Structure formats: structure tokens, C-alpha cells
């Protein structure tokens, strides 16, 4: 039995579909299990990582557990996004203790790629790394995968980029526009996640998972506009503007400020993979950026109109 936390979220939801297709026995932990789609082979358990409620039951008999939770959400009593790091620390500690007690062999975690130049981490990336350390220290046979942007119709960071292109004819590009990253097709990220608990070589390791193309944020926006078939004029701006820009980006894209602000503070550096160990160990043939975007846009448009197309 494998437990998936964050199953009502983007990555967790996609992973549950993938594991069930393979015929694996899946249990999903959710704060509100009525939000999970009923599926043959899927067992739902109510639980909350912050309070620890339901964890013992959820982990009972599980060999592997996926940790796909973060707390960048509007929180009662918290002012703006200030509390996500302490909530994420508490959630990871609760989970690690419960997984140890239940005899789980391996936790698989998805966090964020860190700046390649060793620069100080943004609060968002520092928190993702702290969660990785808590899980790997408590359960040393675990696997941490680190990704930057996942390209998929429901990926919050990809949706921000698409909404900006869709809704702004003139796209302001602050100083972070030239920083580069290697976005990964959601299907490849989910493939890595599904194989991770079964791969001996991945045990006890932290591996960067990345697509084959390295692009600056400006180039990504340009490629997305091209693939959407719309002309957009970039307006380069000399400063980073994150404190001012994040509420505007949240409002234009319809994503919560509690998510947009921490994500934007991580744009100040190149976020490139340390090496290609993950690709070598798992032997995946990774999809290029353009194919990932075309696939994501096609899925998006099957469910929702994209006004600019």
C-alpha cells in the first residue's frame, strides 16, 4: 500500500491517477476526502498534517508514502504568507514522526531546485529544503526530488505564466527576466515520482529533476506566447519589483497572493539542476519545453477557454 498526501492538490492528484493506472494500491490522505474523485483501487482517509489527525490510520501498513503538501495558502489568523515556513516545518515533523512509528520504508518528496550559485535561499526555497532535510533525516532511505516549474494544465506556476500572456498585451518583465531554469513536463515529473519508491539507486538521495531545455523567464514567456499564437510586447524593467508586483500578478492571474508572493521571491537566481543523475538513474527520455507547453495548453482548452487564442 502506498500513501499519497496532497492528493487533492495538483501533483498529488496527477500522481494518484498514474499509480492507479499501473494497478498499484493507493491510499490518499486529504483534509476533506469528499474532494477526492471516487476511483476503483483508491482508499481515502481523512487527515491533517498540521494537527497530526488521521496520520496513524493513513500510514498503517504503508511501505511507501508520498509527501506532496505545502502550506502556501490563506491561513486563518496568519497575516499574508508569513507563516508558511513554520506550518510546513510542523507538518513535516508530524509526518516524519508518524511515518517512523508506522515503519514506512521510504518517503518520496517533491521540493524545489535551489540556486546554482549557492546564493542565500528565498524563504520559499529555504522552507522546501527544510522539509526535505526533516524527511531524509527521520527516514534515511527516502528520496527527495527537486523540480522547478512543472509544465501542466493545472500547475499553479505554469498557469501564472499563461494567464500573464493571455491577459496582458504589454508584459512587464522585471530584473529577474534573464534568470534561467529547466522546466519539466508534468508527465515526466509524475513518471519520476511513480518510479522513485521502486528504484534502489534513488534511496537516501536528493535528486534534481529537470527538462532538457534551459530557458530564461523572458524566453519562457516568449515561447508560451508564440505557442498560443499571440503577439506580446515585453517591457523590460530594471528592478525586481516583487513586493509591488506580486499583488498585481495575483490579481491578473487569479492565483492566491499567498502562493504568488513566495514563488516570485524565488525568481532572483538561476534555478538549474546540479547534475543529470536523476535522468541517468531512471533512464527517462524527457520531453522538450515546446511539447510540454503544447500538451498543457491542449488539455487546458479542453476544459476552459483561453481568451487570447
Ligand X SMILES: NC(=O)c1ccc[n+]([C@@H]2O[C@H](COP(=O)([O-])OP(=O)(O)OC[C@H]3O[C@@H](n4cnc5c(N)ncnc54)[C@H](OP(=O)(O)O)[C@@H]3O)[C@@H](O)[C@H]2O)c1
Name the residues that contact ligand X, by CB under 6 A. 5-6, 8-12, 30-32, 48-50, 68-71, 91, 110-112, 128, 147, 149-150, 155-157
Kindly tell me which of 54 and 174 has the beta carbon lying closer to ligand X. 54
CB of 173 to ligand X, least distance (A): 20
CB of 111 to ligand X, least distance (A): 6
Kindly tell me which of 132 and 166 has the beta carbon lying closer to ligand X. 132
Kindly tell me which of 38 and 200 has the beta carbon lying closer to ligand X. 38
Kindly tell me which of 59 and 68 has the beta carbon lying closer to ligand X. 68
Kindly tell me which of 50 and 237 has the beta carbon lying closer to ligand X. 50
**Gap between the Cα atoms of 30 and 102, Å rounded:** 18
CB of 225 to ligand X, least distance (A): 20
Kindly tell me which of 179 and 237 has the beta carbon lying closer to ligand X. 179
CB of 169 to ligand X, least distance (A): 26
CB of 300 to ligand X, least distance (A): 15
CB of 41 to ligand X, least distance (A): 19
CB of 118 to ligand X, least distance (A): 20
Quickly list DSSP for the chain: -EEEESTTSHHHHHHHHHHHHTT--EEEEESSGGGSPP-TTEEEEE--TTT-TTHHHHHTT-SEEEE-----S--TT--TTTTHHHHHHHHHHHHHHHHHHHT--EEEEEEEPPPTT-PPPPHHHHHHHHHHHHHHHHSTT-EEEEES-EESTT-HHHHHHHHHHHH-SEEEE-GGGG-EE--EEHHHHHHHHHHGGG-GGGTTEEEE---S--EEHHHHHHHHHHHHT---EEEE-SS--HHHHHHHHHHHHT--HHHHHHHHHTTTS-B--S-SHHHHHHT--PPPHHHHHHHHHHHHHHHS--TT-
Kindly tell me which of 242 and 266 has the beta carbon lying closer to ligand X. 266
Query: By beta-carbon distance, which residue lies closest to ligand X?
Result: 9
Amino acid at each position: 500500500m502506498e500513501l499519497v498526501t496532497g492528493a487533492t492538490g495538483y501533483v498529488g492528484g496527477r500522481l494518484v491517477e498514474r499509480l492507479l493506472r499501473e494497478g498499484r494500491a493507493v491510499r490518499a490522505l486529504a483534509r476533506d476526502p469528499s474532494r477526492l474523485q471516487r476511483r476503483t483501487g483508491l482508499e481515502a482517509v481523512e487527515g491533517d498534517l498540521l494537527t497530526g489527525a488521521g496520520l496513524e490510520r493513513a500510514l498503517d501498513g504503508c511501505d511507501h508514502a508520498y509527501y506532496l503538501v505545502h502550506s502556501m495558502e490563506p491561513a486563518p489568523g496568519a497575516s499574508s504568507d508569513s507563516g508558511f515556513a513554520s506550518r510546513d516545518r510542523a507538518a513535516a515533523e508530524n509526518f516524519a514522526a508518524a511515518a517512523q512509528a508506522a515503519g514506512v520504508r521510504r518517503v518520496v518528496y517533491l521540493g524545489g531546485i535551489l540556486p546554482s550559485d549557492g546564493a542565500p535561499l528565498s524563504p520559499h526555497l529555504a522552507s522546501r529544503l527544510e522539509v526535505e532535510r526533516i524527511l531524509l533525516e527521520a527516514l534515511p532511505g527516502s528520496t527527495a526530488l527537486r523540480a522547478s516549474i512543472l509544465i501542466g494544465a493545472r500547475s499553479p506556476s505554469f498557469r501564472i505564466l499563461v494567464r500573464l500572456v493571455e491577459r496582458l498585451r504589454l508584459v512587464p518583465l522585471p530584473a529577474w527576466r534573464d534568470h534561467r531554469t529547466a522546466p519539466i513536463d508534468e508527465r515526466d515529473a509524475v513518471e519520476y515520482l511513480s518510479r522513485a519508491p521502486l528504484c534502489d539507486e534513488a534511496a537516501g538521495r536528493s535528486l534534481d529533476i529537470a527538462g532538457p531545455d534551459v530557458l530564461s523567464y523572458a524566453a519562457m514567456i516568449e515561447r508560451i506566447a508564440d505557442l498560443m499564437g499571440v503577439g506580446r510586447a515585453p517591457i523590460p524593467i530594471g528592478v525586481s519589483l516583487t513586493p509591488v508586483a506580486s499583488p498585481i500578478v495575483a490579481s491578473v492571474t487569479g492565483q492566491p497572493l499567498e502562493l504568488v508572493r513566495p514563488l516570485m521571491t524565488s525568481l532572483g537566481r538561476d534555478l538549474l539542476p546540479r547534475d543529470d543523475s536523476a535522468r541517468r538513474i531512471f533512464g527517462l527520455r524527457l520531453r522538450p519545453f515546446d511539447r510540454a507547453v503544447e500538451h498543457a495548453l491542449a488539455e487546458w482548452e479542453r476544459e476552459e477557454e483561453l481568451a487570447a487564442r
